[in-house]
Every structure is written in C-alpha cells, then in structure tokens.
C-alpha cells in the first residue's frame, strides 16, 4: 500500500523549506527532540524534519507536496499519545505539528458550541469556554499539553465519559486537509444532519491516517454550580459495581465520574511521597472516587444521601466527602497520579481495555489470577473508569525484580489479559487507540470484514498511503 520515493532527508528538508518557508521547518536534532520523544519512551525513530505550518493553506500546500513526491506525514498535536501513533515508525516520516493553529475561532456558550483550531491546547479550550459561562467536558491528566486535533484523532476518553461521552460525542463538525491537499469543510453546529455518511466520525478516531484535522466545532455544556466529590472505601469490585448501579439510579446523568483504585495505588503514592495528605478514610482493599455535578438551581445533596444508603446496605465501609475545592483537588490528584506512581515503583506492564460494565469484577478476578500464575510476586494494579467499563489493567513488577527481565516477559501477560477481555466480549483498546503498538493485535482480533472496510476507506481517502503509514492498519 505504501509507495514512497526514496528521498534523501536533505532533499526532503529542501522541498519543505521551499513550500513552507524556513521558519516553518525544524531539522536540527535538539529542536526535533520534543516532537520525537513520546511519553512512554517506547518508540525511538528518527525523522527528516518537523513541519510547523502557520495556517490551513500551509497544511494544504504541505499535503499536496507530500502526495506528489511520496513524503509520508504524521500529524501531531501535543505528543501525549500512549500508543506511538504520533511518532515515526519507519524513520522517513515528516511530523506535521499543528501547534501554530491554536485559535478559538468562535464561541457561543449559550447555544452550546465553539470552534477551536486543531492546535488549541485542551486546558486553553476549557478556559475559553468557562470565560463565556460554558464547559467543554473532556478532562484528562494530559490536558495541559494535549491538543484538540490529537484528542479528536485518538477519540480521547478521560474521567467524564460517563456523563458526556468521549471526544467523538463532543464533536459536532471538523475541518480537515485530505491527503491530496483538498479541504473538507465539515465545520457545523448542527445537532441533526442526516445527509449521508458521517464523514466527521470517520476522521475522529482515525489517528491521523485519513486526514489532517485543522479545526473542529465542539459541544459546550452549562457549567455546573457545584460538585459533590467523595472517596469511599470498599471491600471488592463486586461491591463497587453494586454501588455504581445504585449511584447511577440515584443521580442519573448528573453522575460525572466513577473511578476505582486498589489499595496498592494508595500504598505506592504514600510510599513515594506523592500525597501531602491521605485523601481516604482508612486502609481498604478498594476505593472509588465518585463525583456528582450539581446544575444551577438544584438543591440537596445527592451524593451524601446516596452514600448514607450505601453504608446501610453494606456496599461501602467508609467515606470522605470533599468539603472544599482544595479537598476535591486532592482527591482527583490521587486518581490522576496513578500512572506516575507506578513508574516510580519500577517496571509496569499496561493494558487499556474495556468490557461490559457487569463483567468488570470477573475481568479483575480472572485477569489477576491468570497473570499471578505466570509471574510469581507480580502486583496487579487494575484501576480507572469503572463507570465506562474501562480498566487500565496494569501489572507492577515483583518487589526487587529486575525491571528489564520483567518487561522481557510481557508477551504472555498481554496474551492472558487480552484473552480474558475477549472472552468477556470486551475491547483490546478502550481509549488510547491502536497506533503502532497494537497493529498486530488488531489484525488478530478484529472482525475480518471490518478490517476490509477499514482498508477500503484508507485506500479511497489516501491512495498513496502518505498519511501516518503503518499506524492502525499495518
């Protein structure tokens, strides 16, 4: 599928400079490092250059050049992706950073939409929405760096999917440059538009393989007047599931987040000095972080009442309710530091998987047992978005083990977890995507007809295979 002319890197750089101008091309090693080093430090490849186009017309000119001369392009946002989709695989790809396209083009919080360019950083989008009395409800720990184009292209999830859906559901329209340089003008604030195939939804989640998103119309919601947030102590994932059902029945769409963390997560954070104060009530096998939003004008304490009922039904053994914004922030820090505390503890083998919500206790039980049978002393760390059926099912190395030797044994652990997930009707990638990390796995587990349809779409939109080659489909 990929037919690239063999181009010497200096020739590629010269053609990029001719097309975009020298102030839009980075080719020195130090300047390129930030674009090539990805968060997990798993993928190490070179690139001839980084293109930093200044506007949509420049992105179009770049695509026309690349399509004509067989220069592979990788769109990049904040470079926070976790599956190596935004960094080179072959070493001849040019990274296209959308960072300079970072304007908020328009905003109408009352009508519930805004248009942001692909390079807008999520945190800035939050601030722009809030300044107008609205809310863009996509919250992830990388929001200080992740950009709108990357968030949409990886269909990011995060902690509020339960109430608002993932990035796809928060997007009303996109503008994108196609592989041949044409502009797809799909910006729209319409909630209803049944005029044929949903092309926006093809580009969202495509990981930069079908087009380069340059702007998007995003959905805005009213800002809640307050949040009720709590960390509860629980005996087991089974109790957590029952509690989730009870809280959802009580709070409906106001239930914003339901995240679970095992004791080991607190233990790691305390031992590594990551918490200035323990946000939980006691030592417990499991914790759930629960948040309910209070819309303007609403009265009463939905969460507090729900927790009292849960205590009586012995679903929870203890609870702490945040009494200030500082306490709420402390509770969320405990959840958001889960990845970092595992890195500080040594090597960790990670899986971003989902199953039907009712199967989460079985996933955690079966998956933990299967891996414990493989590696003596391995420490299961299943945590995350229980309310979405999405568990980050990680395994920390045994205490004192050699990190390299532990990582060298990752394959049987992956097989055991993916087998468990598939047996429960789940997905091998819940929110991080496929990138270069899981292309082989996708080929093995995805319905063959679905794969054929995906290949046909790729060929139709990018016949020369210049957009993010080797990612998603290998």
Ligand X SMILES: Cc1cc2nc3c(=O)[nH]c(=O)nc-3n(C[C@H](O)[C@H](O)[C@H](O)COP(=O)(O)OP(=O)(O)OC[C@H]3O[C@@H](n4cnc5c(N)ncnc54)[C@H](O)[C@@H]3O)c2cc1C
* Contact residues: ligand X, CB under 6 A: 39, 74-82, 85-86, 98, 118, 140-142, 146-147, 149-151, 153-154, 156-158, 207-208, 212-213, 339, 431-432, 468
Complex with ligand X: residue 40 or 446, whichever CB lies closer: 40
Complex with ligand X: residue 396 or 468, whichever CB lies closer: 468
**CB of 391 vs ligand X, minimal distance in Å:** 12
State how far the Cα of 196 lies from the Cα of 198, in Å rounded to an integer.
Answer: 6
Complex with ligand X: residue 129 or 151, whichever CB lies closer: 151
Question: Which of 132, 167, 162 is CA-nearest to residue 149?
Answer: 167
The residue number with the shortest CB distance to ligand X is 150
* Angle, CA 424 vertex, CA 419 and CA 425 arms, to 5°: 100
The distance from CA 263 to its chain's CA centroid, rounded to whole angstroms, is 24
**CB of 192 vs ligand X, minimal distance in Å:** 26
Complex with ligand X: residue 306 or 382, whichever CB lies closer: 382
* Angle, CA 362 vertex, CA 269 and CA 381 arms, to 5°: 15
Question: Which of 351, 364, 381 is CA-nearest to residue 238?
Answer: 364
Among positive and negative, which fits the CA dihedral 303, 309, 315, 316? positive
In angstroms and rounded to an integer, the radius of gyration of the C-alpha atoms of the chain is 23
Complex with ligand X: residue 228 or 352, whichever CB lies closer: 352
Tokens of residue 159, six digits:
């902690």
**CB of 61 vs ligand X, minimal distance in Å:** 16
**CB of 104 vs ligand X, minimal distance in Å:** 16
Q: Does residue 378 contact residue 397 with C-beta atoms inside 8 Å? A: yes
Complex with ligand X: residue 89 or 247, whichever CB lies closer: 89
Cα of first residue to Cα of last residue in the chain, in angstroms, is 9
* Angle, CA 101 vertex, CA 454 and CA 116 arms, to 5°: 75
**CB of 232 vs ligand X, minimal distance in Å:** 21
Complex with ligand X: residue 36 or 109, whichever CB lies closer: 36
What are residue 227's DSSP bridge partners? 293
State how far the Cα of 280 lies from the Cα of 318, in Å rounded to an integer.
Answer: 9
Question: Which of 123, 105, 122 is CA-nearest to residue 175?
Answer: 105
**CB of 341 vs ligand X, minimal distance in Å:** 12
Are β-strands 390-396 and 352-354 bridged in parallel, bridged antiparallel, or unpaired? Answer: antiparallel
Q: Does residue 435 contact residue 83 with C-beta atoms inside 8 Å? A: yes
Q: How many CA atoms lie within 13 A of 220 on its CB side?
A: 26
Q: Does residue 294 contact residue 224 with C-beta atoms inside 8 Å? A: yes
**CB of 298 vs ligand X, minimal distance in Å:** 27
Going from the C-alpha of 383 to that of each of 59, 141, 180, the distances in angstroms are 40, 15, 43
**CB of 337 vs ligand X, minimal distance in Å:** 10
Are β-strands 352-354 and 379-385 bridged in parallel, bridged antiparallel, or unpaired? Answer: unpaired
Query: 410: helix, coil or strand?
Result: helix
Complex with ligand X: residue 101 or 416, whichever CB lies closer: 101
Query: 152: helix, coil or strand?
Result: helix
Complex with ligand X: residue 139 or 244, whichever CB lies closer: 139
**CB of 404 vs ligand X, minimal distance in Å:** 23
Complex with ligand X: residue 284 or 348, whichever CB lies closer: 348
**CB of 146 vs ligand X, minimal distance in Å:** 4
């Amino acid at each position: 599928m990929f037919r690239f002319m063999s181009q010497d890197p200096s020739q590629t750089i010269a053609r990029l400079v001719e097309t975009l101008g020298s102030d839009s091309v980075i080719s020195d090693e130090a300047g390129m490092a930030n674009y090539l080093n990805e968060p997990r430090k798993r993928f190490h490849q070179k690139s001839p250059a980084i293109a930093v186009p200044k506007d949509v017309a420049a992105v179009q000119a770049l695509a026309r050049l690349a399509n004509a001369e067989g220069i592979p392009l990788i769109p990049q946002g904040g470079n926070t992706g976790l599956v190596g989709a935004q960094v080179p695989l072959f070493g001849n790809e040019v990274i296209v950073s959308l960072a300079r396209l970072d304007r908020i083009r328009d905003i109408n919080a009352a009508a519930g939409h805004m248009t942001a360019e692909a390079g807008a950083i999520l945190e800035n989008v939050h601030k722009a929405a809030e300044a107008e009395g609205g809310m863009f409800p996509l919250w992830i720990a990388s929001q200080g760096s992740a950009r709108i184009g990357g968030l949409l292209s990886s269909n990011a999830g995060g902690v509020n999917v339960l109430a608002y859906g993932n990035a796809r559901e928060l997007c009303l329209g996109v503008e994108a440059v196609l592989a041949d340089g044409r502009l797809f003008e799909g910006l729209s604030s319409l909630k209803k538009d049944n005029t044929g195939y949903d092309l926006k939804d093809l580009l969202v989640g495509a990981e930069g393989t079908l087009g380069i998103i340059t702007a998007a119309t995003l959905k805005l919601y009213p800002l809640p007047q307050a949040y009720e947030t709590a960390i509860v102590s629980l005996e087991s994932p089974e109790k957590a599931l029952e509690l989730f059902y009870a809280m959802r029945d009580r709070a409906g769409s106001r239930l914003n987040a339901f995240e679970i963390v095992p004791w080991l997560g607190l233990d790691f954070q305390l031992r590594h000095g990551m918490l200035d104060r323990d946000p939980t009530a006691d030592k417990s096998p499991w914790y759930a972080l629960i948040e309910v939003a209070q819309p303007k004008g609403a009265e009463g304490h939905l969460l507090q009442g729900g927790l009292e009922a849960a205590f009586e039904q012995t679903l929870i053994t203890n609870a702490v309710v945040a009494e200030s914004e500082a306490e709420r922030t402390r509770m969320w820090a405990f959840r958001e530091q889960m990845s970092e505390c595992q890195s500080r503890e040594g090597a960790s083998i990670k899986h971003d998987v989902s199953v039907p919500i009712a199967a989460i206790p079985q996933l955690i039980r079966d998956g933990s047992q299967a891996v414990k049978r493989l590696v003596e002393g391995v420490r299961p760390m299943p945590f995350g978005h229980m309310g979405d059926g999405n568990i980050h099912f990680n395994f920390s190395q045994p205490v004192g083990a050699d990190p390299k030797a532990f990582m060298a044994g990752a394959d049987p652990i992956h097989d055991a977890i993916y087998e468990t997930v598939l047996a429960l009707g789940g997905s091998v990638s819940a929110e991080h995507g496929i990138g270069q990390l899981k292309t082989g796995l996708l080929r093995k587990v995805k319905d063959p007809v679905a794969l054929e349809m995906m290949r046909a779409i790729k060929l139709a939109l990018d016949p020369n295979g210049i957009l993010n080659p080797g990612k998603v489909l290998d």
